[in-house]
Structure 1
């Protein structure tokens, strides 16, 4: 989970570089285009989408298999919210590719909320693992 959080921060960095590239002019734009930030952002985002969905479903499956139930609490609800947010954010890609600024702004907003939830999710996940270890 912590590796995914770091990957998410890297995706945010790449997204900011894409925005810088879009707003740059002249020589600066030529230099930024060489970084292929847009391609890397899209690729990392796709990997994050897949891993988050798999992680969310996998986490719930393992919890259910081990305990015969899901523990409805902040960690589960935040995880489900994160899964929904990343899917919604990714679904805006076709609109952003066509130049829709509303989609870009929504994508950025969703991803910053997602990043905040993810940081909190990682911390509560460590607490859950510590509880499991202490009960073993």
Structure 2
């Protein structure tokens, strides 16, 4: 079923996904930075350690991760919905497959949180590895997304 979107909103709806996902990538990078700061607590001592603890990086990292997971799932579903609504089909290609993979990686990373809270080192290493791969694929997928946005802009300029 295709939903008729009023013309004034169609551009907004079309570009909501790329804007949301760009912001989500920025959030992922910031969450990684916060996680790194939280990890530094393990290797510092004295006043520096107290200063790091007082910033509550652990809570901030957890909260950012929760928001990241929400935005990743919403972005994946929203992107597919808008594509289907605008074109009557999904374009199965690298961008779609990577997006679905990223959503899985985000869920996997979040699923490790209870084990991380138990202090399991293997879960921490896995969490870091999964998120490193996630950010790398996300950067690449963002580049493929910009190519798609360029094609949409070209189509819009030809139509007007």
1:123-134 to 2 correspondences below 5 Å: 123-134=143-154
- The equivalent of 1:7 in structure 2 is 27
- The equivalent of 2:117 in structure 1 is 97
- The equivalent of 1:112 in structure 2 is 132
- The equivalent of 1:24 in structure 2 is 44
Cα deviation code 1:44-86 (max 9, x no counterpart): 1110100010000110011111111110100001000000000
**Residue in structure 2 matching 1:82, options 83, 102, 109:** 102
2: CA distance between counterparts of 1:78 and 1:132? 20
Deviation at 1:28, TM superposition (A): 2.0
- RMSD of aligned residue pairs (Cα, Å): 0.9
- Specify the structure having the higher radius of gyration (Cα): 2
Are 2:69 and 1:60 equivalent residues in the alignment?
Answer: no
Which TM-score applies when normalising by structure 1? 0.96
How many residues get paired?
Answer: 136
After TM superposition, where is structure 1 displaced by more than 3 Å over at least 4 residues in a row? none
Which TM-score applies when normalising by structure 2? 0.82
Structure 2 gap segments, 5+ residues each: 1-20
